[in-house]
Amino acid sequence: MTLLIDPPNVPWRGRMWSHLASDTSLTELHEFAAALGVPARGFDRDHYDIPAEHYDAAVAAGAVPVRSREIVVRLRAAGLRRPKPR
């Protein structure tokens, strides 16, 4: 199991956000997010949006810090990438 989290560098609604993803399965991702107390509404197709103030807790729980681009590369390699429709 590898849970990945990028730095909180996405501004939205007055906060900074990270992306939490799994390169193994969405089930694993949902279970990890639930254990962190992340609401289901934070799920966005293939990742969870995590506010900056919860970044350290996610890392302490086992999420591996990576660059944003690495999340996309790993999701594609695992066949889990679900981009927005164009």
Residue 77 CA to residue 40 CA, distance in Å, equals 25
Residue 28 CA to residue 21 CA, distance in Å, equals 9
Range of the domain at 21: 3-78
Instruction: Look up residue 38 and give its two tokens.
Output: 């992340």
Q: Is residue 83 part of a domain?
A: no
pLDDT averaged over consecutive 10-residue blocks of the chain (86 residues)? 92 95 95 95 95 97 97 92 80
Pick from 72, 63, 60, 53: which is nearest to 14 by CA?
Answer: 53
Q: Report the number of distinct structural domains present in the chain.
A: 1
pTM of the model: 0.91
Q: Is residue 86 part of a domain?
A: no
Q: Is residue 85 part of a domain?
A: no
Q: Is residue 7 part of a domain?
A: yes
Q: Is residue 84 part of a domain?
A: no
